[in-house]
């Protein structure tokens, strides 16, 4: 079992509330989403593992059980071409839960007309494999979002 924790501070809103059909329809996988606080912050790793994919706006950490967890910082933020994001680790790095991965500013993302909402997705999982799914309420980095069995 893997406990996936929040990479950012904000309010958990659930994937169905994400303003993107790929995420809201759980086409990438099940999980939840955070509407982040609008201040400069560092997105942290939601699990212990290895960074297998790293972009300014998104990263994937795979844990010892082979579970890949995607953290996507905002919606359509790939179109910002890294503007306003600072990578703090490298692809292939081993990271620990709570370790800073990307420095960003959700308010600046919102000012570009993009949504700063952050989907946190269990890649290649089924909805049935997740429990204790948090889809409402305030969260801070490190708070449990779901358990992946």
User: Which residues are marked as active site?
Assistant: 72
Contact between 14 and 145 under an 8 Å Cβ cutoff? The reply is no
Q: Is 128 exposed, middle or buried (0-12, 13-18, 19+ CB in 10 A)?
A: exposed
């Amino acid at each position: 079992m893997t406990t996936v924790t929040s990479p950012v501070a904000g309010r958990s809103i659930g994937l169905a509330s994400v303003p993107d059909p790929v995420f809201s329809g759980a086409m990438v996988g099940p999980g939840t989403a955070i509407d982040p606080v609008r201040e400069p912050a560092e997105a942290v790793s939601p699990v212990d593992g290895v960074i297998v994919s790293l972009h300014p706006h998104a990263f994937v950490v795979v844990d010892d059980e082979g579970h890949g967890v995607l953290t996507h910082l905002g919606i359509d933020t790939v179109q910002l071409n890294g503007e306003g994001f600072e990578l703090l680790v490298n692809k292939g790095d081993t990271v620990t839960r709570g370790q800073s991965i990307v420095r960003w500013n959700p308010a600046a993302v919102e000012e570009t007309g993009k949504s700063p909402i952050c989907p946190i997705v269990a890649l290649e999982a089924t909805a049935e494999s997740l429990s204790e799914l948090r889809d409402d309420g305030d969260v801070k980095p490190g708070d449990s979002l779901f358990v992946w069995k």
